Chains A and B, each alone.
Chain A
């Protein structure tokens, strides 16, 4: 087999393992929530793994990522340790945020994962500011920000598009259009079917990709990243995808149309990547090996989290303010 192909397969397998890690991670999260070990709620990104993995594959280590409460996958794809992430979901002291954040508030600064946010749309201007910082420092770094179709209706979305375009900051907008904001389908919330059109109005190069095709996502993001590194400002990428059955493990709401509950399975990015891998010349054994590796990583993460202590009240007032 030519070296080029081997490399390509290696990279695809790497992405496959990440996607499987995210899938297992989220399946476990749902189970742990059902057992009462995760409080509040947890928002799985099952079915959307290709976006997190494809987009982060186009980044370098010094680049930064911001995401939403549905951003466990983004954290994993940016290189955070699933152990610390799972421990955070279970609000253990060993979690990436010392158990203070929980499922919706993850952060791993060392890995450039500036974090997830539970206020819809609020992290967009923060991402803009981080991108402005990158630009001012001239370090050739970029910032990537994931958000949903719902967020694209918030005022801060438009404010950030304007400011990011105006100041030409190295920011890649990744809209994960999964068709729903909790129970509201996009046809009841969006004046136009394509969110990418809005970015065009601000003069931002924007395109629509199949969010369930990890290669397509990666290529589109890589173009945006290259543009950002050249100093040409933001890029907007709308990834069309499909959300898993429910908004969160806590939500009772189903899709208004029950047939849609199964729709994602027909476009599931994981079997799709398996088919691509086979076409490219990988064999089943290689695929299985990655799958098992992912499973092990997640099993270890769950064990680690379960064995870690919960914080106690002694530390509750610590860290409200940073020390000078």
Chain B
């Protein structure tokens, strides 16, 4: 095991696959010598050169489109979109093209394309650079979605994404790039559709996504001191969603809190909650609770930290369920 940051774990995964897949190409903006907006690509341009690490013009839509064109021609590609908010600009290519071509072309085309994009919430960058839009994409059949929260998950899931013949939206998080954790020295892959149990507990299941995970773990730790045993789970991928692991946890605890930075309305928590009810309604001792981003455009300035979930809100929700 080595302790690395999430940024480096992602970089390692890409580097290893660039070596193993000699045709693989990276597209995006500022990905050349600059090393990517948040430094994830550091060193790749120097090592793999401008043909494979293609710094390009600012046009998210055509960049994803070019990625699809490469992919359907059999050349695997990663497109980096600098902030998740900019997926909006490439929405047609992601939703109407990448996600659907394999299906409606009767299986003739495959789209081995990974779109990497970071959520930049908790940074105070304001309404157009702070959004967690994962729920939009979870809505779309044909798109796989990974949303890791640790270096270990990030590397193993990205390696899987880079071996998958399907389009994968790989959602990172700027606040987590410096998060450190153990990563095996030997090659490993984490299959999609496997939720992580980050901490075992027996009273409440706390499902946390992306940037909420560190505070969820801190909340569980503090609640343990109050005699409440919290199980913390990270779904890791949203499509496929490992509802089985979440449901098994619920069967044990009878209570569930789901937390994410994404807006509360029609957020991922709404879907997970419904699925849990369909799976194991009889085991519920209390209504499932959401601790989500508030339904407001994310403000700039200090208030931004009050619109996303924090440890206090998570703990309040857990305590409420225990009463």
- The residues of A with any CB-CB pair to B shorter than 8 Å are 64, 95-101, 105, 107-109, 114-115, 117, 119, 122, 124-134, 136-137, 155-156, 159-160, 162-163, 166-167, 319-324
Contact = CB atoms under 8 A, between A and B. Distances in A.
Contacts of B109: 107, 109, 114-115
B75 interface: yes
17 contacts: A97-B105, A100-B104, A107-B109, A117-B97, A119-B97, A124-B65, A125-B63, A126-B97, A128-B62, A128-B66, A132-B69, A133-B75, A134-B73, A163-B56, A163-B59, A163-B63, A324-B164
B104 A97 contact: yes
A133 B69 contact: yes
Contact of B93 (A95, A96, A122): A122
Contact of B61 (A96, A115, A155): A155
A222 to B, nearest CB: 23
B309 interface: no
B103 interface: yes
A87 to B, nearest CB: 11
B241 to A, nearest CB: 14
A5 to B, nearest CB: 40
Contacts of B68: 125-126, 129
Contacts of A95: 106
Contacts of B73: 64, 129-130, 133-134
Interface in B96-139: 96-97, 101-110
Contacts of A131: 69
B92 interface: yes
Contact of A156 (B65, B101, B103, B166): B65
Given A119-B92, A155-B61, A160-B65, A129 B106 contact: no
Given A156-B61, A319-B107, A324-B163, A129 B70 contact: yes
Contacts of A109: 105, 108-109
Contacts of B61: 125, 155-156, 159
B141 interface: yes
Given A101-B104, A105-B105, A166 B57 contact: yes
Contacts of A101: 104-106
B269 interface: no
Contacts of A64: 73
A105 B63 CA distance: 22
Nearest to A127: B69
Contacts of B96: 119, 122
B72 interface: yes
Given A160-B62, A163-B66, 4 more contacts: A129-B73, A129-B77, A132-B70, A319-B103
A119 B99 CA distance: 14
Contacts of B62: 124-125, 128, 156, 159-160, 162-163
Contacts of B75: 133, 136-137
B247 interface: no
Contacts of A322: 102, 107, 110, 165-166
A199 B208 CA distance: 49
Contacts, number: 143
B144 interface: yes
B262 interface: no
B142 A321 contact: yes
A122 B92 CA distance: 8
B69 A321 contact: no
Contact of A128 (B51, B69, B106): B69
A125 B67 CA distance: 9
B244 interface: no
Contact of A323 (B69, B74, B103, B165): B165
Contacts of B23: 136-137
B86 to A, nearest CB: 14
Q: Which of A109, A155, A322 has the most CB of B within 10 A?
A: A322
Contacts of B141: 320
Contacts of A98: 106-107
B71 A97 contact: no
A55 B65 CA distance: 23
Nearest to B59: A159
B103 A320 contact: yes
Contacts of A160: 62, 65
A129 B101 CA distance: 15
Nearest to B105: A107
A107 B107 CA distance: 10
Nearest to A88: B106
B103 A163 contact: no
B165 A133 contact: no
B105 A129 contact: no
A70 B144 CA distance: 31
Interface in B12-65: 23, 25, 51, 54, 56-57, 59, 61-65
A96 B107 CA distance: 10
Contacts of A167: 54
Contacts of B67: 129
A125 B107 contact: no
Given A98-B107, A136-B25, A129 B65 contact: yes
A126 B72 contact: yes
Contact of A130 (B25, B70, B105, B106): B70
Contact of A162 (B57, B72, B103, B164): B57
* Max chain B Cβ within 10 angstroms of own Cβ: one of A136, A323, A324: A136
A323 B165 CA distance: 7
A37 B315 CA distance: 60
A280 B107 CA distance: 45
